[in-house]
Structure 1
């Protein structure tokens, strides 16, 4: 299928020889083929560059590791001459019709960035299973509501399409925060441009398999969220109040999460209910709030409903990590950094280890 727009794919890759083939295979199968695929071999010490070259894509190598995804993407921008740029993580697999489904978003000249529905590639460990529940819930409940209100909180960096002229005018992928996707999504909406969520364009991301790497990823996400709150919230309140509402609700959820988790113990301590009864009411409320959106999401994705519901206990493991690092981010990025007692998070760490292939 011939694209109505020219589109270049940028794949930043650092030690991704194991995961990169699935990403490049998916790009090769697109029903709307990209004009060019650029892999940025960002200081890899494995065979990432050789693997990419075997696919016939353009491979560029900075003289040294650049230190973040945004910097690697910016290194590739001068090689892009198409109207659109698609940024894809080297561990993300796009559905064959991903590009075809997302291109119509740019028929509106006010749309500057769009991204699809991200789901988890694997559900082997408790952490991946918990993340799969988070994604099913978020991308079939929160994100559609935000889209309907014209203010998505983020266009996911693993599969976002950008209007190149706007990206260049902004100075490229933002490097000032640790999460470039949220920074750009908020900045453009504050400036009066549109960001879109395209629910039928599906991508599958490889998520952390272990607690060690989940902690690294969640700390980066939460610190980056709070960095963007510090940077953007003031202007957002007047320029994009609906987006500001989602941000304030997210902050409220972080602040009140420990209280909600402690509710069964508080009820048992302050009422005549036993701890078992209090926990039963709390669990029933959780299921009532969680199960209906998950059943809907499972049916939309063609997943076994029972399997999805059986993964619900796993989400409390990932939520516990989320709460811990969200509070850490609040303290570090919104309190210690303004007081000049900390520099905040500045080092970009991946949420997965490099996995060598057999030689």
Structure 2
């Protein structure tokens, strides 16, 4: 029988935290303990957490990143498993029950489920919802079948505590600790597992300001991990290296694909409208089948899922801008010692006051 402690890092999360803690209290297999790290909040985060009967830990100062907040709580964990949950993420009632069995395999070090968006109110949330549905019902299952998932999502990952402690805790050397740990454990010969039936609902960017900050953190963190791990991935986990290289290739070639209608118009006698229709048709052929499967798999209204497809191009445009910025900064300027790269963990909400995170190597 596995035991599990939940760590919830929280900075100024009084609004979203209650739903997170209520979802933990409603688990069909309840956690043994819930630790909320009130990371120097200036709102009522600590009071809200205490009112839910969980243990509240408050560092003497703002620690500056989610990984550091989680590491602050880690010495308080004496269970064999640790579940890290973001303070704005809601777990399905059977999340813990569904994930626990994979740890019967002693080779499994980390596991996480499917992430979906909690809200689809704005253009950006709808675009992110489409990205999640596509990624978790196309890319992630393929990677799982190959035993080489790209990342166990940090908003809802379960860790084997012994492995986590032996590694030195949640990694602070990059700006995205979830990808860093997922790659590191697979390089070391341990397993990372995607559990598709376990569902977590994350609060995603509702406006462009929040989205830009989140995407910059994600893209910079991806490139930091490429810089740190790619050589060892090629040697010790070549299939995972393939997914990483394909992701880099996609970033490099995306501008060419987006420019295709204009190239066709400029180099042939086809009218612009026809060139765009050809391009749009190819896009739909590639993206629609996984989205239809996702809608059926998750029992979502198919019409709503399909109507959200145009929104994804807004988020894709933001992704592309910051992916190229990350390539230039993290894979070119940092090795040339012309930049330190992204070292400040900034979630993006207006009330977040970031402090410098640990150095990135």
The two structures have a TM-score, normalised by structure 2, of 0.97
- Structure 1 runs of 4+ off > 6 angstroms? none
Unpaired segments ≥5 residues, structure 2:
353-361
Residue 204 of structure 2 is aligned to residue 207 of structure 1:
yes
CA deviation vs aligned residue, 1:171-198 (integer Å, no higher than 9, x gap)? 0000000000000000000000000000
| Structure 2 residue corresponding to 1:309, chosen from 293, 306, 311 | 306
Task: Report if the CA contact (8 A) 1:9-1:37 is conserved.
Answer: yes
The two structures have a TM-score, normalised by structure 1, of 0.97
In structure 1, distance between residues paired with 2:308 and 2:156: 25
In structure 2, distance between residues paired with 1:171 and 1:294: 39
1:76-87 counterparts in 2 under 5 A? Answer: 76-87=73-84
Task: Report if the CA contact (8 A) 1:209-1:352 is conserved.
Answer: no
In structure 2, distance between residues paired with 1:166 and 1:10: 16
Task: Report if the CA contact (8 A) 1:337-1:343 is conserved.
Answer: yes
Unpaired segments ≥5 residues, structure 1:
none
1:119-138 counterparts in 2 under 5 A? Answer: 119-138=116-135
In structure 2, distance between residues paired with 1:274 and 1:240: 47
CA deviation vs aligned residue, 1:1-53 (integer Å, no higher than 9, x gap)? xxx20100000000000000000000000000000000000010000000000
In structure 1, distance between residues paired with 2:40 and 2:134: 36
Coordinate RMSD, CA, aligned: 0.7
CA deviation vs aligned residue, 1:58-114 (integer Å, no higher than 9, x gap)? 000000000000000000000000000000000000000000000011010000000
| Structure 1 residue corresponding to 2:38, chosen from 38, 41, 58 | 41
Give the paired residue count. Answer: 352
Partner of 2:167: 170
1:131-170 counterparts in 2 under 5 A? Answer: 131-170=128-167
In structure 2, distance between residues paired with 1:352 and 1:51: 19
1:16-55 counterparts in 2 under 5 A? Answer: 16-55=13-52
In structure 2, distance between residues paired with 1:323 and 1:188: 28
Partner of 1:291: 288
Residue 95 of structure 2 is aligned to residue 73 of structure 1:
no
In structure 1, distance between residues paired with 2:32 and 2:134: 34
CA deviation vs aligned residue, 1:133-157 (integer Å, no higher than 9, x gap)? 0000000110000000000000000
Task: Report if the CA contact (8 A) 1:16-1:354 is conserved.
Answer: no
